[in-house]
Amino acid sequence: MNLADLNKVALAMVTPGKGILAADESTGTIKKRFDAIKVESTEDNRRDYREMLFRSQEAMSKYISGVILYDETIWQNAKDGTPLVKLIEQAGSIPGIKVDEGTQALPNCPGELVTVGLDKLAERLKKYYERGARFAKWRAVIDIGSGIPSMTAIHVNAHALARYAALCQAAQIVPIVEPEVLMDGDHDIDRCYEVTGRVLNKTFQELRVQRVALEGMILKPNMVIAGKKSGKQAGVQDVAEKTVRLLKACVPAAVPGIAFLSGGQSDEEATAHLNAINAIGNLPWKITFSYGRALQAAPQKAWSGKSENVPAGQRAFIHRAHMNGLASTGKWAADLEKKAA
């Protein structure tokens, strides 16, 4: 492992003003997104849609440091035969790859999940590196509910995250370590704070046990936020302050960067929260976005599967990437959204 090079890639992924596009929806997930805009999820449509994003020159070169791809996409070519990976590289962005293989029910833990995909991961990473991937992602899912999460679910998911991270670094690939505490429930922000703290502590404990070099990884956490079904939604400043307080308590300063998931927040909420977090300042890590839905909902709607809508889709993507780029340095303001509209 060349740690200096891993650290260089990790720092490039969190370049101030830029963040990560999570375009790694599995075939099942992208079908759900396409269903919502009444587009059939064929291999060609998935290619056309992602090609539209990766050819958004302004977004890709100015605001997107890296793109997380799904296995199908990393091997796909654009309509003119150029590998999609090349489009990303030509824009000055870094290709990355989702390597987990989704979740399965965790035995003896009703309602809880474990992320799978460690078998043969070393061999797969080698092929992805040859294709151009310089970072990877593995998402663990922790749900909050009555009596859950169990320590068992937190432990096995943290163990798998660390196994994955160690394998990535051995393959000269920067691991994005993503322990996602879902915001699906009716819990309040303080319960999210408590559970996310347990999850982060266990994750870093496992990373240490398995000798993962913290300088060569990126953390992708959820923000500290109330569940979507909670009657008590916290304000933007409250989310920012609690998120920063928890990260300071749990995340070692050796980690170069933190890139949040959006997790079901609205586009503008995700931007406002990231901005407020960065406005607090004096943080030991670079903090940015690694958004899926909060970057893509607008371009998906504008595109709606029609080739004549590609420029509108690209404009919508450029706008969201720009707004989040500003939020990554605490320079976003709500009136910038209205101006563009």
Candidates 112, 178, 180, 206; catalytic one: 178
- Closer by beta carbon to ligand 13P, 22 or else 316: 22
Q: Look at residue 137 and give its three-state secondary structure.
A: strand
**What residues from 44 to 63 belong to the interface with ligand 13P (CB under 6 A)?**
none
- Closer by beta carbon to ligand 13P, 265 or else 314: 265
| Least distance (Å) between residue 178 CB and ligand 13P | 6
- Across the chain, the runs of DSSP E, i.e. the strands, are 19-23, 64-69, 94-98, 103-105, 113-115, 135-142, 174-181, 218-219, 257-260, 286-291
Q: Does the footprint of ligand 13P cover residue 262 (CB under 6 A)?
A: yes
Is 43 among the residues known to form the active site? no
Radius of gyration for the alpha carbons in the chain, expressed in angstroms and rounded: 19
- Closer by beta carbon to ligand 13P, 82 or else 301: 301
Which of 237, 221, 231, 232 is closest to 269 using CA atoms? 237
Q: Does the footprint of ligand 13P cover residue 192 (CB under 6 A)?
A: no
Q: Does the footprint of ligand 13P cover residue 261 (CB under 6 A)?
A: yes
**What residues from 269 to 298 belong to the interface with ligand 13P (CB under 6 A)?**
291-294
Which of 310, 241, 238 is closest to 50 using CA atoms? 310
- Which of the stretches 51-59, 89-97, 142-150, 258-266 binds ligand 13P when contact is defined by CB under 6 A? 258-266
Amino acid identity, position 114: V
| Least distance (Å) between residue 340 CB and ligand 13P | 21
Amino acid identity, position 63: Y
Q: Which of 139, 159, 202, 286 binds ligand 13P (CB under 6 A)?
A: 139
Candidates 202, 220, 242, 286; catalytic one: 220
- Which of the stretches 154-162, 210-218, 259-267, 325-333 binds ligand 13P when contact is defined by CB under 6 A? 259-267
| Least distance (Å) between residue 261 CB and ligand 13P | 4
- Which of the stretches 70-78, 162-170, 261-269, 319-327 binds ligand 13P when contact is defined by CB under 6 A? 261-269
Count residues near ligand 13P (CB under 6 A).
Answer: 10
- Which of the stretches 79-87, 108-116, 149-157, 256-264 binds ligand 13P when contact is defined by CB under 6 A? 256-264
Taking CB atoms, the residue at the shortest distance from ligand 13P is 292
Check the CA dihedral 235-241-245-247 and report its sign.
Answer: positive
- On the 0-12 / 13-18 / 19+ scale of CB atoms within 10 A, 330 is middle
Residue 312 exposure: Cα atoms within 13 Å on the Cβ side: 13
Q: Does the footprint of ligand 13P cover residue 149 (CB under 6 A)?
A: no
Is 220 among the residues known to form the active site? yes
Q: Look at residue 4 and give its three-state secondary structure.
A: helix
- Closer by beta carbon to ligand 13P, 169 or else 262: 262
Other Cβ atoms less than 10 A from the Cβ of 118: the count is 16
CA angle at 312 for the pair 48 and 42, rounded to the nearest 5°: 20
Q: Does the footprint of ligand 13P cover residue 263 (CB under 6 A)?
A: yes
Q: Which of 13, 14, 22, 154 binds ligand 13P (CB under 6 A)?
A: 22
Q: Does the footprint of ligand 13P cover residue 182 (CB under 6 A)?
A: no
DSSP string, 44-112: HHHHHHHHHHHT-HHHHHHTEEEEEE-HHHHT-B-TTS-BHHHHHHHTT-EEEEE----EEEPTTSTT-
H or E stretch at 323? helix 310-327
**Residue 201 falls in which region: left (phi positive, over 0), alpha (psi -120 to 50) or beta:** alpha
Q: Binding marks (x or -) toward ligand 13P, 79..118, rule CB under 6 A? A: ----------------------------------------
62 vs 134, 257, 317, 328, CA distance in Å?
Answer: 19, 19, 12, 13
| Least distance (Å) between residue 147 CB and ligand 13P | 25
Positions marked catalytic: 178, 220
User: Which spans of this chain sit near ligand 13P (rule: CB under 6 A)?
Assistant: 22, 139, 178, 261-263, 291-294
